[in-house]
């Protein structure tokens, strides 16, 4: 909830704007501009590798951070000033918030947004009333989507905030929590389908444990597998063709989350026969919490054709939690865009800013600065990655490094024509291996810096 706004009553007329400081769409003005409310690099219609920046980047705004983030932290209360939000749980307030959100999406010029069911509409006294609340707000979302042309990248369900999910949702020890979560995801899938969503994300929320002493890990994982199977079945039943994603995260809120990283998710999906139905939604801050780099997670996903979508944020390595900061690091965005270009594009996934402004950045205009910075950082990353690819930089480095596998003994091994005995004969005759070549890491890093300008 936002800080109760002393001027709240002024936000009542349909004509009022939530962001009067920004009139019209944020323009592209090029790298030399000094205008803080203009793009320096994100030029939506500019074509790179045969596609517009808009289509390469597929930016999305995360409703939960940008329109429900309060600035509250474990030590302090809400700080955000959100003049359109009266701080109440009323349906009217929820609808006003949707209008403010679409004004923001439109002015920023993003093609997509993403939300959890409980971000947009308040819980009622019963599941039935909660569903009715959701339906009422979804009508406004639908209207706003049609008015602005902004689309839904993915929907999801919040299976972690309410106390009923204290032990988890599909991995809860309480079978009723599983049933409630199933009903909630069923509804969230229907709503996502109704809004034309291009995907649906399963982030584990509280699917994990805080102590082994009371946890049956195998049983909980079996339940998670069964839950996802039911979701796949229901998706088919209602004819929803959006992509399903699992979002890896190793910890927080639990000590260990079952979907801890890309590799763990892939093993889980394979074990439960779900590999064909899911891709991964990778998030930089989650990679860091797992003790990986985002580049590592991207490589793992690419290797198994499982890169689906990206939660575009960054973390702070000095802090041990999901700080969900806006991404401004050009090395990071370059790595991500290299992966995206290698994959041949992100669609139906996108770059979703699962990021929040700092609690000290409490004014509405800070939401613009944050997103503009993130979009420009990715646009730069895209241009840099495309330049590296034009020069076939990494392609050459890697091809040279593995040249010994393209002929002779290497080719025999890769094509399955070798065994331990033939390899022993080969090595006994040769005596020792051909000399190793330098890995040239420092030189490669210097080359990379030549591109990052
Ligand atoms: C939380 C996750 C969450 C998912 C959607 O850490 O990143 O925001 O993206 O449930
Ligand atoms: Ni996320
Ligand atoms: Ni996160």
**DSSP codes, 407-431:** SHHHHHHHTT---HHHHHHHHHHH-
Least distant ligand from the CA of 117: 1
For the chain, what is the mean pLDDT? 96
Check 85, 86, 117, 119 and give the catalytic one. Answer: 119
Q: Is the pLDDT of residue 55 over 80?
A: yes
Q: Does the C-beta of 134 come closer than 6 Å to ligand 1? A: no
Mutate to test the pocket of ligand 1, among 247, 308, 309 (most ligand atoms within 8 A of CB): 247
Confidence of residue 274 (pLDDT cuts 50, 70, 90): very high
The closest of 327, 429, 411, 340 to 371, measured between CA atoms, is 327
Note if the pTM is more than 0.75. Answer: yes
- What is the CB neighbour count within 10 angstroms for residue 82? 27
Strands 59-62, 351-353: pairing is: parallel
Alpha-carbon span 330 to 344, nearest angstrom? 21
User: Can you tell me which atom of ligand 1 is nearest the CA of 203?
Assistant: 10
Assign 3-state DSSP to the chain and report helix, strand, coil percentages, each to 5.
50, 10, 40
Is 119 an active-site residue?
Answer: yes
Q: Does the C-beta of 322 come closer than 6 Å to ligand 1? A: yes
Token pair, residue 355, equals 């990021």
Confidence of residue 53 (pLDDT cuts 50, 70, 90): very high
Q: Is the pLDDT of residue 14 over 90?
A: no
Q: From ligand 2's centre to the CA of 407, what distance in Å?
A: 44
Q: Is the pLDDT of residue 13 over 50?
A: no
Q: Does the C-beta of 311 come closer than 6 Å to ligand 1? A: yes
Q: Is the pLDDT of residue 9 over 80?
A: no
Q: From ligand 3's centre to the CA of 283, what distance in Å?
A: 7
Say if CB 69 and CB 61 are below 8 A apart: no
149 phi, psi to nearest 5 deg = 80, 5
State residue 16's pLDDT score.
Answer: 85
Contacts of 272 (CB under 8 A, 6+ apart): 225, 228, 229
Check 41, 56, 116, 193 and give the catalytic one. Answer: 116
Q: Is the pLDDT of residue 3 over 90?
A: no
pLDDT in tens, 128-165: 999 999 999 999 999 999 999 999 999 999 999 999 99
Q: From ligand 1's centre to the CA of 386, what distance in Å?
A: 29
State residue 195's pLDDT score.
Answer: 99
| Burial class of residue 231, CB neighbours in 10 A (0-12, 13-18, 19+) | buried
**Mean pLDDT on 11-27:** 82
**Mean pLDDT on 259-278:** 98
Alpha-carbon span 94 to 149, nearest angstrom? 20
215 phi, psi to nearest 5 deg = -120, 130
**Mean pLDDT on 255-272:** 98
Q: From ligand 3's centre to the CA of 445, what distance in Å?
A: 29
CA 78 to chain centre: 25
Say if CB 312 and CB 352 are below 8 A apart: yes
Q: Cis peptide leading into 198, omega within 30 of 0?
A: no
Q: Is the pLDDT of residue 230 over 50?
A: yes
pLDDT in tens, 378-420: 999 999 999 999 999 999 999 999 999 999 999 999 999 999 9
Q: Is the pLDDT of residue 453 over 90?
A: no
Q: Does the C-beta of 201 come closer than 6 Å to ligand 1? A: yes
Q: Cis peptide leading into 348, omega within 30 of 0?
A: yes
The closest of 327, 441, 345 to 394, measured between CA atoms, is 441
């Amino acid at each position: 909830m936002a800080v109760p706004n002393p001027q709240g009553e002024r936000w009542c007329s349909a004509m009022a704007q939530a962001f009067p400081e920004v009139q019209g769409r944020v323009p592209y003005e090029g790298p030399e501009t000094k205008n803080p409310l203009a793009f320096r690099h994100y030029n939506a219609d500019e074509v790179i590798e045969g596609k517009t920046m808009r289509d390469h980047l597929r930016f999305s705004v995360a409703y939960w951070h940008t329109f429900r983030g309060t600035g509250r932290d474990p030590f302090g209360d809400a700080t955000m000033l959100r003049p359109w939000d009266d701080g109440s749980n009323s349906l009217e307030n929820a609808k006003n918030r949707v209008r403010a959100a679409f004004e923001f999406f439109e002015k920023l010029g993003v093609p997509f947004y993403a939300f959890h069911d409980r971000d947009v509409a308040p819980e009622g006294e019963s599941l039935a009333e909660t569903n009715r609340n959701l339906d009422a707000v979804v009508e406004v979302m639908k209207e706003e989507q049609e008015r602005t042309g902004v689309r839904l990248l993915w929907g999801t369900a919040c299976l972690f905030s309410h106390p009923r999910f204290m032990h988890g949702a599909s991995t809860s020890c309480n079978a009723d929590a599983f049933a409630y979560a199933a009903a909630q995801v069923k509804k969230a899938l229907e709503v996502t389908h109704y809004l034309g969503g291009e995907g649906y994300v399963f982030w584990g929320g509280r699917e994990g444990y805080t102590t082994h002493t009371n946890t049956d890990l195998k049983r909980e994982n079996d339940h998670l597998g069964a839950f996802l199977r039911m979701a796949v079945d229901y998706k088919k039943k209602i004819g929803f063709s959006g992509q399903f994603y699992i979002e890896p995260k190793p910890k927080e809120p639990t000590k260990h989350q079952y979907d801890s990283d890309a590799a763990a998710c892939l093993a889980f999906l394979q074990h439960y026969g779900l590999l064909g139905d899911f891709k991964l939604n990778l998030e930089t801050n989650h990679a860091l919490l797992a003790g990986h780099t985002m580049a590592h997670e991207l490589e793992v996903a690419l290797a198994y054709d499982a890169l689906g979508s990206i939660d575009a944020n960054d973390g702070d390595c000095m802090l041990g939690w999901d700080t969900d900061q806006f991404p401004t690091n050009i090395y990071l965005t370059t790595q991500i865009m290299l992966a995206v270009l290698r994959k041949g594009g992100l669609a139906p996934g996108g770059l979703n800013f699962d990021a929040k402004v700092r609690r000290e950045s409490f004014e509405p205009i800070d939401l613009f600065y944050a997103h503009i910075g993130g979009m420009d950082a990715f646009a730069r990353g895209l241009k840099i990655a495309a330049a590296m690819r034009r020069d076939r930089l990494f392609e050459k480095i890697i091809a040279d490094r593995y040249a010994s596998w393209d002929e002779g003994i290497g080719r025999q091994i890769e094509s399955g024509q070798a065994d331990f005995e033939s390899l022993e004969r080969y090595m006994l005759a040769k005596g020792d291996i051909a000399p190793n070549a330098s890995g040239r890491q420092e030189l490669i890093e210097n080359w990379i810096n030549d591109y990052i300008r």
